[in-house]
A = this chain, B = another copy of it.
Amino acid sequence: MADAAAGGAEAPGADIRLWQRLRVRWAEVDAQRIVFNGHYLTYFDVAVTEYWRAIGLPYPDAISDAENDLFAVRSLVNYHAPAFFDDWLEVGIRVARLGNSSIGFEFLIRRGSERVASGEVVYVNADPVARRARPLPERLRAAIVRFETLAVAHDEDASDAPRAG
């Protein structure tokens, strides 16, 4: 119930453009025979790496320098269904919020059509030494906006365009 937006026609994750597949490793499963809750943040992080690559700014070389680096300030995971050893998972990622110095990622982990987990991680751009927040570098902001706008455009294409039968 909570998953269905009122009157929404879109499937969960319809606004997500980038999906990263990964397979659950034996070492990630605990004695409950399910993935240990902390490892989902590693899965999210794998998707973040792919996000930087997808927007053309691979981390750390294109993002981190003497005056800028990204630091996690908040993470949230909702566990909807357990993931098991050897499961193929898809980790979807998008930027849901862009602040002056912060980037808010949203994540959705699916196994086939089933939601396994969802969540968010917020990063703040900061001086690596003083750890004081700094505005996001303009080219980073621009690359994110371009990527996510393309994603929206893609969705509109998919939903609005007339289709030949």
Contact check, A49 vs B74: say whether CB atoms are below 8 A apart: no
The digit string for A22-39, where 1 denotes a CB below 8 A from any CB of B, is: 000111011111101111
The digit string for A102-133, where 1 denotes a CB below 8 A from any CB of B, is: 00000000000000000001000000100100
Contact check, A42 vs B27: say whether CB atoms are below 8 A apart: yes
Copies in the complex: 4
Give the docked Cα–Cα distance between A46 and B38 (Å): 12
- Nearest B residue (CB) for A34: B71
62-91 of chain A: CB within 8 A of chain B: 69, 71-79, 81-82, 85-86
With both chains docked as a complex, state the minimum distance between the C-beta of A20 and any C-beta of chain B, in angstroms: 10
Contact check, B26 vs A49: say whether CB atoms are below 8 A apart: yes
Option from B31, B46, B79 in Cβ contact (under 8 Å) with A73: B79
A58 at the interface (CB under 8 A from B): yes
